[in-house]
Amino acid sequence: MSKLLNFKKVEKPVFKLNNAATSAEIIMYGAIGEDWWDDAAMSAVKFNEELKKLPSSVSEIVVRLNSPGGNVFDGMTIYERLKQHKAKVTVYVDGLAASIASVIALAGDEIIIGDGAMMMIHKPLAGVYGNSEELLKMIDLLDKVEEQLITIYSKKMDKSRIEIAKMLSDTTWFTSDESVEAGLADTKFENCENLYIAASMLDKAHWLKDKPKIKSMNDVVREKLKQVQKDAEGFLAR
pLDDT string in tens for the chain (238-residue length): 445 555 444 433 323 343 468 888 888 999 999 877 777 789 999 899 888 888 889 999 999 999 999 999 999 999 999 999 999 999 999 999 999 999 999 999 999 999 999 999 999 988 888 889 999 999 999 999 999 999 999 999 999 999 999 999 999 999 999 999 999 999 998 754 444 444 444 454 544 444 444 444 555 555 655 555 555 544 555 5
14 forms beta bridges with 6
Provide CB contacts within 8 A for 129, sequence distance 6+.
233
Cα 191 to Cα 178: distance, rounded to the nearest angstrom: 17
Rg (CA), the chain: 17
**What are φ and ψ of residue 9, in 5° steps?**
-80, 75
Residue 201 exposed, middle or buried by CB count within 10 Å (0-12, 13-18, 19+): middle
* pLDDT for position 8: 46
Render 133-145 in DSSP notation, one character per residue: HHHHHHHHHHHHH
- Domain 3-237 part of CATH 3.90.226.10: yes
CB 45 within 8 A of CB 8: no
* pLDDT for position 68: 95
Q: Is the CA virtual torsion 217, 220, 222, 228 positive or negative?
A: negative
